[in-house]
C-alpha cells in the first residue's frame, strides 16, 4: 500500500461528530441548512429526459464553461478554455496541488489558519508544505506582507482561502494588490496563488480582494456548494490562465474523467439566471446580524466575521481546544470544532458554524460561555 | 509543475475524434446511445425537493452502500462498510491504483489489450507498470496462467477488465478460479487483483468469472455508466475487503470528498428495483446478433464478442492501425479507434463500437472492408 495514505491521520472533525448525541446543538456543520433552488434541479431533470446524461468533454460542458468564464471575467482566464469543471472544489484544489507542484522540489505555502485538507492533500502527493500563520493579536486578518515574507526559493504555490474557513476573514482588495505586486517583483520562476473562493457569495465586506484580478499566475477554485446549498451536487471548477489550464485538465481527466453532466446542467441553469448565485446571500446577512448580537452578548472574544458562516471564539487562557470540544460534545450537548484542527495558530479557539437556527446558535453559545 | 503530468501524452482517441466530419459514421463511441431510465432521475429530483442535496459521508450514502454490497454479496465485502462510492469508475480505479501501490517499490501489472487509462494513472502516480499481453492467435482470450507467469516480486496489483474494453473478452469462471488459486499459492505479501467490472451487465457468455468470489485480495470497480446509460451521472464504486477499504476511503475523501448525492440517490433507486440494472441488457443482446451477422458478412477477422459493446477487427497484414484510422476518418467518413491505443498486442486491429444504429455499423463495416 501507499505509505503516504497510511500516514495521513484520521479526521478529528469526524471523531467529534461521531460523539454527537441525539438532541445536541450542532455548531460543527460545514454546509448550508437552506434547501437548494429546486427549479434548477427540475430543469436539469427535464433536460435529461430529452438528452440523456452523457459524458461531457473532460473539461466540462462548453456552454457551462462559457458562462463561468464570462461571469468572473478574470484577466487572462475569461475564455471557456480557461475553465475546468470538477467534482466540487475538493477535486479542484486537489488537481491544482497535484499539477502545479513538483513533489521532488516544490513547496506549498498555506496561509493559516486553514482548512486542513490543503496540507493533507500535499501529504498525499508527497509535496512539502509549510504554514504561514496569521496573527491572533490581529484577529487573523490576512497580512499580505507576512505571506510574502514567508515565500522562499522552493515555494511554488501559495494557497489562500478568502473568505476563509475557519476564520471567516477576507483578503481585502488592498491585500490582493499587495500580494500581486510583491510576487511580480520577485525574479525567477513564478509563484502561483491558488485562491479558494468557495465562500465568495457569502462576503460581508465592501472591498474583497481577488488575486486573479491583479496577478497572472493565479488559479481560482470555487463551487456551487455554499452559494447555492448544493454541497451534494459536487460541482466545482478551476479557473486558470493558458499554459496552466491544459495541465490541470489533463490531471482532472485521469482522476475523475468529467464532473457530473447532470450537476453541470444544474450549474448551467444557475449561471444563466442573473442573481441566482447570490439569491441565498440575503439569508446569511440577516443571520449574521443576529449572530453578532449573540456573540456580543456572550462576552466571548470572537474573530470579526468578514465572510463565510463561521465564528471563531476564544477559550480562556490555557484551555486546550480539543479537550474543550470533547467536554462540550460529551457533557454539554454542543458540537463545536476545536481550533487546532485548522493549525497551531488557532489552538485555544473554537469554530462555531451559524447555519443552524439562530435560537440554537444562541443556546449553544450560552452553554459555551457557561462552560 | 509536476513533471509526471507533463510526461503523459495526449489522448489519441481525442485526436481522432477531433477529425470527425459532419455526417461521419461514428464507431468510436465509448458510451451507450440509449437514454437512461428517466423514472430514477425524476425520483431523485423529488427526493432533492424534500431533502436538499447535501454531503453524504465520504464513503457514500449508507442506504446505497447497503444495497450495493448486498447486490454483489462478494465474500468478505458484503457489508456497507466494504463500499466506497466514487465519481464514476474512473475515480474508483484511480483511487485503487493510488492507494494499493507504493510508488517507491511496487508495480502494477496490466492484462493487455487494455483501457489506456490504467497505465496513464500509474504514470501520473509515479508507479511502475508492466503489461502482460494476451495472444492474438488465441483471440486475446484471458489466459490466467500467462498472467500468473508475469507476476514478479514487485507486482502488487493486477488490473483486469472483464468484460474487457477494447476486446470484449470475458474472464471465464475457470480462469477466475485459476487466477485465485495461483495467487493464493504464492508466498509473501498478497498480490491484489483489481477487477474492472464496468461492462458486467453486458456479458453474453454463461460462465463469466469474478475473481472476488474466490480470492480475498480483490478490489472491484464498477459503475452505472454502461449498464444504465448514465455515463454522465458519474456514479461508480469500489468494493474491497476490510483492511483495504479504509485506506481507499481515505484517499477518496481527499480526492473528491464524496460522489454526487443526487447521483447516489439515482443509484439508490436503481439498486432498489430488481432488474433495473439489467433492463437495458436485452437491447445489447439483440444488437449483438445483428453485429455478428454483419461481421460474418464482411469477411473481416474479428475477436469473439463475450461482452461490452465493441468489436475488434483485423487489418490486412502490415497495416498500421493509426494510419488506417486516420485514413478512415479523413477520407472514408468512419470513426474507428486504432488498436495500438490499447497496447502493442492490438496493433494491426481497429476497435469498433456498435452502440450506433445497426445500419450505421453495417455501412461503416462495409467501408472498412472496402478500404
- For residue A265, is pLDDT > 90? yes
Kindly list the residues from chain B whose CB atom is less than 8 angstroms away from the CB atom of residue A31.
54-55
Please answer whether residues B176 and B213 qualify as being in contact, where contact means their C-beta atoms are separated by less than 8 angstroms: yes
- Write out pLDDT tens, residues A63-80: 999 999 999 999 999 999
Pairing of strands B310-314, B128-133: unpaired
8 Å CB contact of B1 and A56 = no
**Is A5's CB within 8 Å of B251's CB?**
yes
Q: Name the minimum distance, in Å, from the CA of B353 to any CA of chain A.
A: 16
pLDDT of residue A371: 86
| Residue A210: Cβ within 10 Å count | 18
How many angstroms separate the most distant Cα atoms in chain A? 62
pLDDT at A10 over 90: no
A226 touches chain B (CB under 8 A): no
Return d(Cα A121, Cα A113) in angstroms, integer: 16
Band of pLDDT at residue B15, cut at 50, 70 and 90: confident
Whether the pLDDT of residue A353 is over 90: the answer is yes
pLDDT at B13: 82
Residue B18 scores a pLDDT above 90: no
A14 pLDDT more than 90: no
pLDDT classification of B11: cutoffs 50, 70, 90:
confident
State the pLDDT at residue A250.
97
Q: Which residues of B178-210 are buried (b: 16+ CB within 10 A; e: fewer)?
A: bbbebbeeeeeebbbbbbbbbbbbbbbeeebbb
- pLDDT above 90: residue A245: yes
Of the candidate CATH numbers 3.40.190.10, 3.40.640.10, 3.40.605.10, 3.30.470.20, the domain formed by B38-271 belongs to 3.40.640.10
Global pTM reads 0.97
Assigned C-alpha cell, B95:
483511487
CA nearest neighbour of A260 among B231, B158, B179: B231
B37 interfaces chain A, CB cutoff of 8 Å: no
CB-based contact (8 Å) between A231 and chain B? Answer: yes
pLDDT above 70 covers a percentage of chain A that reads 100
pLDDT band with cut points at 50, 70 and 90 for residue A17: confident
Residue A9 sits at the chain B interface (C-beta within 8 Å): no
For residue B160, the cross-strand partners are B195
CA distance B221 to chain A (A): 13
**Residue-by-residue DSSP string for A82-139:** GEEEEEHHHHHHHHHHHHH--TTT-EEEEEES--THHHHHHHHHT-EEEEEEPPGGGT
Q: Could you give the percent of chain B with pLDDT greater than 90?
A: 94
* Residue A42: per-residue pLDDT: 98
Amino acid B293: pLDDT: 97
Q: How far out from the chain centre does Cα A344 lie?
A: 19
The pLDDT assigned to B277 comes to 98
pLDDT tens for each residue of B48-90: 999 999 999 999 999 999 999 999 999 999 999 999 999 999 9
- A30: which chain B residues are within 8 Å (Cβ-Cβ)? 55
Q: Determine the average pLDDT of the residues in A38-57.
A: 97
pLDDT of residue A49: 98
pLDDT at residue B12, rounded to an integer: 83
- Give B217's DSSP letter: S
- What is the predicted pLDDT for the residue at B25? 95
Architecture label for domain B3-34+280-370: Alpha-Beta Complex (3.90)
Pick from A256, A264, A356 the residue to mutate for testing the B interface (most B CBs within 10 Å). A256
Residue B90 sits at the vertex; the CA angle it makes with B85 and B96, to the nearest 5 degrees, is 70
Concatenating the DSSP letter of every residue in A198-226 gives TTTTSB-SS-B--GGGT-SSEEEEEESTT
CA distances from A269 to A44, A66, A224, A266, A273 (A): 8, 12, 12, 5, 7
- A261 vs B234: CB contact, 8 Å cut-off? yes
Residue in this structure with the C-alpha cell 463565510, named with its chain if needed: A308
Distance from CA of A1 to the nearest CA of B (A): 4
- Rounded to the nearest angstrom, the minimum Cα separation between B332 and chain A is 25
Q: For residue range B152-178, list pLDDT tens digits in order.
A: 999 999 999 999 999 999 999 999 999
CA–CA separation, B74 and A371 (whole Å): 50
Give the span between the Cα atoms of B25 and B106, in whole angstroms.
43
What's the rounded mean pLDDT across residues A46-68?
97
Confidence (pLDDT) at B86: 98
CB contact under 8 A, B257 and A234: yes
What is the distance in angstroms between the Cα of A290 and the nearest Cα belonging to chain B?
25
In this prediction, residue B297 has a pLDDT band, given cuts at 50, 70 and 90, of very high
Q: Where are the domains of chain A?
A: 3-34+280-370, 38-272
Report H helices in chain A: 3-7, 12-17, 38-51, 62-72, 88-100, 117-125, 144-150, 173-185, 245-255, 261-272, 281-298, 321-331, 358-370
Q: Residue A53: what pLDDT?
A: 98
ipTM, 2 dp: 0.97
Residue whose C-alpha is closest to residue A228's, from A44, A15, A18, A20? A44
pLDDT class for B91, splitting at 50, 70, 90?
very high
Record: contact A54-B231, CB cut-off 8 A: yes
CB contact under 8 A, A261 and B3: no
* Beta-bridge mates of residue A334: A25
What separation in angstroms does the CA of B307 have from each of A35, B215, B283, B293, B294? 43, 23, 13, 16, 17
CA distance B111 to B126: 19
CA-CA-CA-CA torsion sign (A53, A56, A60, A61): negative
Interface of A with B in 234-263 (CB under 8 A): 234, 244, 247, 250-251, 253-263
> Touching check for A29 and chain B: CB below 8 Å?
no
Pairing of strands A107-112, A155-161: parallel
| CATH fold of A38-272 | 3.40.640
Average pLDDT on A266-287 reads 97
Can you give the C-alpha Rg of chain B in angstroms? 20
β B25-26/A25-26 pair status? unpaired
Query: Considering chain B, what is the average pLDDT of its residues?
Result: 96
- Predicted pLDDT at A294: 97
Residue A262 to residue B233, Cβ atoms within 8 A: yes
In which order are the strands placed within the sheet that holds A310-314?
A310-314, A349-353, A337-338
Q: For residue A196, what pLDDT is reported?
A: 98
Average pLDDT for B268-297 = 97
Q: What are the residue ranges of helices labelled H in chain B?
A: 3-7, 12-17, 38-51, 62-72, 88-100, 117-125, 144-150, 173-185, 245-255, 261-271, 281-298, 321-331, 358-370
Task: Please indicate if any CB of chain B lies within 8 Å of the CB of A101.
Answer: yes
Q: What pLDDT score was predicted for residue B371?
A: 86
Q: Who contacts A261 (Cβ-Cβ below 8 Å, separation ≥6)? A: A53, A54, A55, A56, A61, B231, B232, B233, B234
pLDDT, average across residues A81-96: 98
CB A106 within 8 A of CB A152: no
* A20-35 pLDDT, tens digit each: 888 899 999 889 999 9
Tens of pLDDT, residues A155-179: 999 999 999 999 999 999 999 999 9
Amino acid at each position: 500500500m501507499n505509505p503516504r495514505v497510511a500516514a495521513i491521520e484520521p479526521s478529528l472533525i469526524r471523531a467529534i461528530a461521531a460523539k454527537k448525541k441525539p438532541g445536541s446543538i450542532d455548531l460543527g456543520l460545514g454546509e448550508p441548512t437552506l434547501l437548494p433552488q429546486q427549479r434548477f434541479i427540475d430543469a436539469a431533470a427535464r433536460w435529461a429526459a430529452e438528452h440523456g446524461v452523457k459524458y461531457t468533454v473532460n473539461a466540462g460542458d462548453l456552454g457551462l464553461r462559457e458562462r463561468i468564464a464570462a461571469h468572473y471575467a478574470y484577466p487572462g482566464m475569461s475564455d471557456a478554455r480557461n475553465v475546468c469543471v470538477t467534482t466540487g472544489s475538493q477535486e479542484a484544489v486537489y488537481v491544482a496541488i497535484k499539477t502545479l507542484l513538483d513533489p521532488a522540489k516544490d513547496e506549498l505555502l498555506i496561509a493559516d489558519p486553514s482548512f486542513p485538507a490543503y496540507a493533507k492533500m500535499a501529504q498525499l502527493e508527497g509535496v512539502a508544505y509549510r504554514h504561514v500563520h496569521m496573527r491572533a493579536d490581529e484577529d487573523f486578518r490576512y497580512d499580505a506582507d507576512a505571506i510574502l515574507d514567508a515565500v522562499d526559493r522552493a515555494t511554488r504555490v501559495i494557497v489562500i482561502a478568502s473568505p476563509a474557513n475557519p476564520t471567516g476573514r477576507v483578503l481585502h482588495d488592498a491585500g490582493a494588490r499587495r500580494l500581486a505586486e510583491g510576487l511580480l517583483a520577485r525574479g525567477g520562476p513564478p509563484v502561483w496563488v491558488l485562491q479558494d473562493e468557495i465562500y465568495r457569495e457569502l462576503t460581508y465586506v465592501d472591498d474583497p480582494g481577488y488575486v486573479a484580478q491583479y496577478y497572472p499566475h493565479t488559479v481560482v477554485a470555487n463551487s456551487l456548494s455554499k452559494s447555492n446549498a448544493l454541497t451534494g451536487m459536487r460541482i466545482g471548477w478551476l479557473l486558470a490562465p493558458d499554459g496552466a489550464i491544459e495541465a490541470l485538465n489533463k490531471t482532472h481527466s485521469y482522476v475523475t474523467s468529467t464532473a457530473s453532466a447532470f450537476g453541470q446542467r444544474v450549474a448551467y441553469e444557475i449561471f444563466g439566471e442573473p442573481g441566482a448565485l447570490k439569491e441565498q446571500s440575503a439569508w446569511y446577512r440577516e443571520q449574521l446580524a443576529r449572530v453578532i448580537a449573540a456573540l456580543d452578548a456572550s462576552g466571548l472574544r470572537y474573530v470579526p466575521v468578514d465572510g463565510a458562516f463561521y465564528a471563531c471564539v476564544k477559550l480562556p487562557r490555557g484551555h486546550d481546544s480539543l479537550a474543550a470540544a470533547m467536554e462540550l460534545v460529551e457533557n454539554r450537548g454542543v458540537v463545536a470544532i476545536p481550533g487546532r484542527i485548522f493549525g497551531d495558530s488557532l489552538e485555544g479557539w473554537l469554530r462555531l458554524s451559524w447555519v443552524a437556527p439562530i435560537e440554537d446558535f444562541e443556546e449553544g453559545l450560552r452553554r459555551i460561555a457557561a462552560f
